[in-house]
Structure 1
Amino acid sequence: MTATAVCSVTDSPPTLLVCVNQRTKSHDMFVENGVLCVNVLTGEHEELSGRFARFSEDDRFAYGTWEHAITGAPVLANALAAFDCRIVDRLNRGTHSVFICEVDVTLNGNADDGLVWFGRTYHRLPPPG
């Protein structure tokens, strides 16, 4: 699924805030398993991002190359970066849950640029440097 929002909470311990719509199947899996992996996409992943943003029954993992992180969560092999996380707290607010996640491992890919969804459109971030 595509998270509504992701942001850093603290660097010690490394912690992320991840907002997830409670209607997604992924939401219930996160609650049940207590883990998730935040995959930061590249410009090459625009179509894949669209597949994960829709509420559909198709096997979205049939697209892309997937591995398992230390927690067992799926990690996109060529993501710009990936954060393998354990959920340590949850706050329900309206239609969404706010998961507080401690980062076990940060994985870096070999991508050239990042992909951001903002203002109802995709934006490609230039490569660093």
Structure 2
Amino acid sequence: MDKTFKEIMGSYPTGVSIVTTMIDSKPVGLTVNSFASVSINPLLVSWCIDKKSNSLKAFLHSDKFAVNILSGHQKEECFIFANSTESDRFSKVSWTKSSNHLPILEGVFAVLECKKFQEVDAGDHFILIGEIIDLQRTENKPMFYYQKQVSVVPV
């Protein structure tokens, strides 16, 4: 059943994001495709992190995070942040620190900066819900994930 579930979910197109935060003045981030909107009032979004993730501690101890929604040309960034053995991800990408002291990747489709609203323990993951405190959008086209491939959203 696990294999069929993974095949089904891998065949459901999703966006691709890199969620970032700062811990002890160091940037931390990872690639996620579990990002979703939750509420309009207040503006809430959610994403999931595996309890075995090397980044888990940082996100559980941080009170803010940024969802960097990747643009279609950011395949390299997607895979750098998806690689759990990559220790210095931020040295391989262009980024800046926002006025909210969060790492923001350059060239993304959009960025949603959030303060942590709630953590939910859910099976082998935590669901992190954030309230949006700032957002930006570019004219870039977003990336999507479908059947183990990342592409530009066709529009």
Conservation of the 8 A alpha-carbon contact between 1:41 and 1:115: yes
- Of 91, 102, 124, 1:73 maps to 102
CA–CA separation in structure 1 for the residues paired with 2:49 and 2:57: 10
C-alpha deviations, 1:68-100, integer Å up to 9, x for none?
Answer: 223322111221100001111111112211011
Question: Are residue 115 (structure 1) and residue 110 (structure 2) matched?
Answer: no
Q: Secondary structure of the equivalent of 2:73?
A: helix
Q: Secondary structure of the equivalent of 1:44?
A: coil
Q: Secondary structure of the equivalent of 2:116?
A: strand
Q: Secondary structure of the equivalent of 1:2?
A: strand
Question: Are residue 37 (structure 1) and residue 66 (structure 2) matched?
Answer: yes
RMSD of aligned residue pairs (Cα, Å): 1.5
C-alpha deviations, 1:84-122, integer Å up to 9, x for none?
Answer: 0111111111221101110110122342x2111232221
Gaps of 5+ in 2: 1-29
Question: Are residue 22 (structure 1) and residue 51 (structure 2) matched?
Answer: yes
Q: Which amino acid aligns with 2:103?
A: P
Q: CA, structure 1 residues 110+62, in 2 after alignment: closer, same or farther (shift >3 Å)?
A: farther
Question: Are residue 89 (structure 1) and residue 118 (structure 2) matched?
Answer: yes
CA–CA separation in structure 2 for the residues paired with 1:101 and 1:78: 22
Conservation of the 8 A alpha-carbon contact between 2:80 and 2:86: no
Conservation of the 8 A alpha-carbon contact between 1:71 and 1:86: no
Question: Are residue 105 (structure 1) and residue 121 (structure 2) matched?
Answer: no
Conservation of the 8 A alpha-carbon contact between 2:73 and 2:152: no
Q: Which has the larger radius of gyration?
A: 2
Q: Secondary structure of the equivalent of 1:91?
A: strand
The residue aligned with 2:10 is none
Q: Give the % identical residues.
A: 22
CA–CA separation in structure 1 for the residues paired with 2:153 and 2:86: 31
Normalised by the length of structure 2, the TM-score is 0.74
CA–CA separation in structure 2 for the residues paired with 1:27 and 1:70: 24
Deviation at 1:33, TM superposition (A): 1.3
Gaps of 5+ in 1: none
Report the count of equivalent residues: 126
Q: Which amino acid aligns with 1:77?
A: E
